[in-house]
Amino acid sequence: MGKCTKKTAAPAQPLRITEARDVLSEQLSLLDPPRFWSKVDSSGGQHVCWPWLGSITLSNGYGQHPGVSPLTGRPTMRAAHRCALEIATRSVLPPAVRVLHAKGCSKLCCNPKHLRPGTAAENTADARRDGALRGKRLDADRVRKLLGLHQAGVTRESLADRFGVSLVTVHSILTGRTWSNISGIEFAGPRKGGRPRKPKVAKPTMEQRRQRVQEALS
């Protein structure tokens, strides 16, 4: 077997596998997965949306979570749903890869089962689809009606069905995250080290429920 003596010009050194693995695990650990998941309400189980309870980027309405930029390696706020997919799949996605939500999902959903990597073009197509659907669904009157039905004891699932919105949207309204100007509910934010607080509502009797549903529908 001949010994290869030919020298090639040293290429721009790509990371060796072990180095790449170190960078990856460092980037993932900087996302602080336990802290990340403490800001996600996964209490509904695997098959429903997991609303993000932490802070939101005002410019685009996505959840945000501290991490490091894959481009510069500097600390920065990163999109929460992106962090969710990265932590769940133990991979750091290249910046050109977008993280897309399943149909009917809210921007705040962090259930990895509802997230998939995609292209910018797919992202735009999804946004157009969701925008077209959303625009018609809720206005102040419909939100008032939804709140009335909730008071009357109608479940979140039926509210989502009835108003053609996602469970996250219903959850956001009932926790005061959105439409608080109509509901007057103050958003409490995530509670440290546990499940998010539920707004306290006295349980109405069946008779009261029936009556309130009638009233809310009339």
**Distance separating alpha carbons of residues 35 and 119, to the nearest angstrom:** 29
Residue 178 CB, shortest distance to Zn ion, in Å, is: 16
Residue 166 CB, shortest distance to Zn ion, in Å, is: 7
Using DSSP, state whether 175 is helix, strand or coil: coil
**Distance separating alpha carbons of residues 80 and 88, to the nearest angstrom:** 12
Residue 109 CB, shortest distance to Zn ion, in Å, is: 3
User: Residue 169 or 183: which CB sits closer to Zn ion?
Assistant: 169
Residue 145 CB, shortest distance to Zn ion, in Å, is: 24
User: Residue 112 or 204: which CB sits closer to Zn ion?
Assistant: 112
User: Residue 105 or 152: which CB sits closer to Zn ion?
Assistant: 105
Residue ranges in contact with Zn ion by CB under 5 A? 49, 105, 109, 111, 114
**Distance separating alpha carbons of residues 177 and 173, to the nearest angstrom:** 6
| Beta strands per DSSP E along 69-213 | 75-79, 98-101, 115-118
**Pick from 102, 116, 109: which is nearest to 51 by CA?**
109
User: Residue 49 or 147: which CB sits closer to Zn ion?
Assistant: 49
